[in-house]
Amino acid sequence: MQDQIVDLALELTQVTKVKMADLAKIMLHTQILAMNARLEAARAGEAGKSFAIVAQEMGAVSQQVTALAASLNTVITENSDRIQDAGQDMSINFRGSRYADMARNAVEIIDRNLYERSCDVRWWATDSAVVDAVEQPSAEATAYATSRLATILRSYTVYLDLWIADRSGRVIANGRPDLYRHVVGSDVSREEWFQRGLKTADGDDFVVCDVDRSAQLAGSQVATYATAIRKGGATKGAEIGVLGIFFDWEPQAQAIVDGISLSEEERATSKIMLLDSRFRVIASTQPDAFGQPYPLKPTDAWGHKVEKGKIVAYGLTPGYETYRGLGWFGCIESTLKG
C-alpha cells in the first residue's frame, strides 16, 4: 500500500506536468491568434476598432490563464513531492517495522530450539550410565556410557557429539568415537564449557557458550551446553564430572535465516543475520560471514534505523521459558531503492 501511494504521487506529478505543458501550448497559440487579430483590426482602421477591443481582451484572458496554470502547476508539483516524500517515509517505516518483527522472530525460533538443548543437558547428566562412568570408572562402565551416548545421538540428530569428562577435565567417553577418534583422553580442563559447567550451582543449572568453531569436531560450528555430573545423579550432589553436548549449529541456524519470508526482490537486496551479544555474525544468508563483526548499535530491544542508504532492522531475543537467552539479536539489512 505504501509503495502504491508513492507510485501514485509520482504518476500524478508526471501527468500534471504533461497536461500543464499542453495547456501552455494552447495559451501560447491563443496569444498568437489575439496578436494577429489586433494587427488585422488595426489594418481595418475605423471598422476594426470594436474587434481590436475583443482581441485585446482575448490576449489578457490568455495571459491570466497562463499565469493561473503556472501557479497551479507549482502547487500541484509541490504537494505531489510532499505526498511522495511522506509515502517514502511511510514505506520505509513499514518495511523497517516488518523487518524488525522478522528479525526478532528469527532469534526467537533459535532460542526455542536452544531451550530444548538446555533441558537435554540437565536430563542426560543424571542418566545412570553417565553418572556411573565417572563415579565408578571401569572399562565396562565406560563402554556402556559410550553406547548410551551413541543411542542418544541416533535419536537426537541435531548434535555432533556428547562428551563425558571427569573432575580433572579428562574426557573418558564420547558418543561418536569412530568419527571423533581423538576426543577420549583429551584434556578439556581449560575449556570454558568445562570450567563453567563444573561450577554450576546444582542439577537444575547449566551453562551455554557462544557459538564457535571446534577444532576437535572437525572445525564445525557448535553451540556447547554443559552441566556438572553429580554424585548419585542427585540435584544437590557433589560435582564429579561434566557433561558437554555439542549442538550442530550451522545447518539449524542456516535453515532459520534462509526461511525468513522475504519476497524474491527483497531477498536480492537484503541479508539476514543472527548476531551474538558481541555483535558477531553467527548465522547469515551471506556466505562466509560467520565470525565477522557487524556494526549494529541498537537503541532499544526492537527497532530499525536508516543509514547509508540501507534499512537496518533488529530484534533482541526475549528468551524462552526458563532459557533467558544469550543477548543475541536477529538482524536484517536491506538496501533502499536508489
* Segments of the chain scoring below 50 in pLDDT: none
The pLDDT of residue 50 = 66
The pLDDT of residue 139 = 96
Task: List strand residue ranges (DSSP E) for the chain, in order.
Answer: 159-166, 171-174, 207-208, 212-214, 220-230, 239-248, 270-275, 281-284, 302-307, 310-316, 329-335
The pLDDT of residue 324 = 82
Residues of the chain with CATH 1.10.287.950: 2-91
- Using DSSP bridges, classify how beta strands 220-230 and 310-316 pair: parallel, antiparallel or unpaired: unpaired
The pLDDT of residue 14 = 72
Residues of the chain with CATH 3.30.450.20: 125-249, 253-335
**Per-residue DSSP letter, 327:** S
Count H helices, E strands: the chain? 7, 11
The pLDDT of residue 1 = 52
Within its chain, how far is the Cα of 144 from the centroid?
44
CATH class of 253-335: alpha beta
C-alpha gyration radius of the chain:
36
Instruction: Evaluate whether 62 touches 27 at the Cβ level (below 8 Å).
Output: yes
Query: Helix/strand/coil (H, E, C) string of 6-44?
Result: HHHHHHHHHHHHHHHHHHHHHHHHHHHHHHHHHHHHHHH
The C-alpha cell that represents 80 in the structure block: 505531489
Give the separation between CA 229 and CA 243, rounded to whole angstroms. Answer: 6
pTM above 0.85, yes or no: no
231: number of Cβ within 10 Å? 15
The pLDDT of residue 270 = 96
Cα-based distances in Å from 190 to 26, 195, 200: 88, 7, 16
Give the separation between CA 146 and CA 129, rounded to whole angstroms. Answer: 9
CATH class of 125-249: alpha beta
Superfamily for domain range 2-91: Methyl-accepting chemotaxis protein (1.10.287.950)
The angle subtended at Cα 132 by Cα 130 and Cα 133, nearest 5°, is: 65
